[in-house]
Structure 1
Amino acid sequence: MSEINIAIVDDQNLFRQSLALLINFTEGFNLVAECEGGQHLLDRLANDSLKIDVAIIDMDMPGMNGIELNKLLQKSHPKIKVIILSVHVNEILVTQMINTGAASYLAKNCDKNELSLAIRTVYKTGFYFNNDALKAIRNSGNHRLQTVDALTSLPVALTDRETEILKLVCQEYSNAEIGAELFLSARTVEGYRIKIINKINCRNTAGMVLFAIKHGIVELSL
């Protein structure tokens, strides 16, 4: 696997610098930007032509907070996968950030192994949801999963093939792996993924998984 280019955005100097040390000493990780705020990152992207694969963003920052920065990145730099790192972990915030394009949401007190796993998984599959995030998604809007009822009351109509592909996406299959499973080309699978994203009005793979969990299409283990 090639190196993962990572940016850190956090206004707390000691935390940001400690996280930078962790990234720099982890094999396969390449720290390309260490920013004290959202505007600093946007300026670096505009002026330095940075290639960023994963951005680790704090939620609470003066000036431009993580919510605002995430929205701007989704609009102007959609290929950057965003991991939110926050002291606030509640159902509304988790689902809001994933709905607006974040690929993962972690508590700031997570351990270094989980953060490393999240970075690698987000880079590979486009999403990483731990138990806290899964619980938040399941409980969002007081939603109670009843698989049969959920499938018959989807807000959009998915074809059998689209549902099949969505389930495999949730199992972290790549386009090539889905194609091999369903005897389709990777290009055809990508076409289906784009159709699904457009149908359910989400932004990326994390949004697809969020939709599938909320509507009982898949049951991911806690």
Structure 2
Amino acid sequence: MTPIRIALVDDQLLFRQSLAMLMQGEPDIALVLEADNGDSCLKGLAGLSELPDILLADMEMPGMDGIELSEKLHQLYPSVKLIVLSVHASERLIARMIDQGACGYLTKNCDRAELMTALYTIRSTGYYLNSRVLNAMRNVSRNITISPKNLTGVPVALSKREKEILHLICKEYSTSEIAQRLYLSPRTVEGHRNNLLQKTGRRNTAGLVLFALKYRLFETAY
């Protein structure tokens, strides 16, 4: 198995060093970059011959913080998946970061097992949303009143196939699993996923889940 390439961005030196040591003890993880804020992270990324798969970043850092870094990543390195790792657990902040393009959000008191689960899940499905994050997304979206069983009120028209694929994405199926279940090729599934991203204006798979929650598309998806 090809190691997951990780970049780690946090201004707290002791925390960053501890997390780096944890990463270095994992045979399927390759720590390729450490940085203390968004500015040094972007400089480091520019000097790499191969980009990381996943970037773990704190929210509050001197200079360029995690919020601005997420914007820059989307513009410059859209293939790099962002996990926010923060002491803050505000539901509005969590939903905002997922809406801006983060593929996951973990609090700094999460344990090693959940961190590893997040990394492997993101490599497989493109996102990791634990119960805390899903609840935050759901609660922030509750002020929108939309029928839970149909697309009434949804600002875009989705085809039947797109709805099927979005439903399976929300159930954490990988591209290959969706392809097998619907008797499609992985390339066809990716094509539908890209169409969903374009139609909904979302940046990644986690954003599609937020879209489905916001418009209550699937009553039993979560």
TM-score (ref. length: structure 1): 0.93
Q: Distance in 2 between matches of 1:142 and 1:58?
A: 27
Q: Percent identity?
A: 48
The 3 A distance-change label for structure 1 pair 18 and 92 is: same
Structure 1 match to 2:140: 140
What is the CA distance between 1:149 and its match in structure 2? 6.0
SS in structure 2 opposite 1:119?
helix
Tell me if the contact between 1:213 and 1:220 (Cα under 8 Å) persists in the aligned partners: no
Residue 69, structure 1, aligned to residue 69, structure 2? yes
Tell me if the contact between 2:141 and 2:213 (Cα under 8 Å) persists in the aligned partners: no
Q: How does 1:16-35 map to 2 (within 5 A)?
A: 16-35=16-35
What is the CA distance between 1:204 and its match in structure 2? 0.9
The 3 A distance-change label for structure 1 pair 165 and 220 is: closer
Q: Distance in 2 between matches of 1:59 and 1:177?
A: 33
Q: Residue by residue, what CA displacement relative to the aligned partner does 1:28-77 show, whole Å, maximum 9, x if unpaired?
A: 11111111111111111112334200100000001010000011011110
What is the CA distance between 1:203 and its match in structure 2? 0.6
Could you tell me which runs of 5 or more consecutive residues in structure 1 were left unpaired when the two chains were aligned. Answer: none
What is the CA distance between 1:144 and its match in structure 2? 6.5
What is the CA distance between 1:134 and its match in structure 2? 0.7
SS in structure 1 opposite 2:83?
strand
Q: How does 1:193-212 map to 2 (within 5 A)?
A: 193-212=193-212
Tell me if the contact between 2:37 and 2:61 (Cα under 8 Å) persists in the aligned partners: yes
Runs of 4+ in 1 over 4 A off after TM superposition: 144-147
Q: Residue by residue, what CA displacement relative to the aligned partner does 1:12-40 show, whole Å, maximum 9, x if unpaired?
A: 00000000001111231111111111111
Q: Distance in 1 between matches of 2:124 and 2:188?
A: 19
Q: How many residues align?
A: 221
Structure 2 match to 1:6: 6
Structure 2 match to 1:48: 48
Tell me if the contact between 1:145 and 1:214 (Cα under 8 Å) persists in the aligned partners: no
Residue 190, structure 1, aligned to residue 182, structure 2? no
Greater CA drift, 135-144 or 76-85: 135-144
Q: Distance in 1 between matches of 2:162 and 2:145?
A: 20
Structure 1 match to 2:176: 176
- The letter of the residue matching 2:185 is S
Tell me if the contact between 1:82 and 1:103 (Cα under 8 Å) persists in the aligned partners: yes
Greater CA drift, 101-110 or 180-189: 180-189
Q: Distance in 1 between matches of 2:79 and 2:141?
A: 29
The 3 A distance-change label for structure 1 pair 50 and 35 is: farther
What is the CA distance between 1:147 and its match in structure 2? 5.2
What is the CA distance between 1:145 and its match in structure 2? 7.5
What is the CA distance between 1:128 and its match in structure 2? 0.6
TM-score (ref. length: structure 2): 0.93
- The letter of the residue matching 1:70 is S
Structure 2 match to 1:59: 59
Q: Distance in 2 between matches of 1:149 and 1:177?
A: 24
Structure 2 match to 1:157: 157
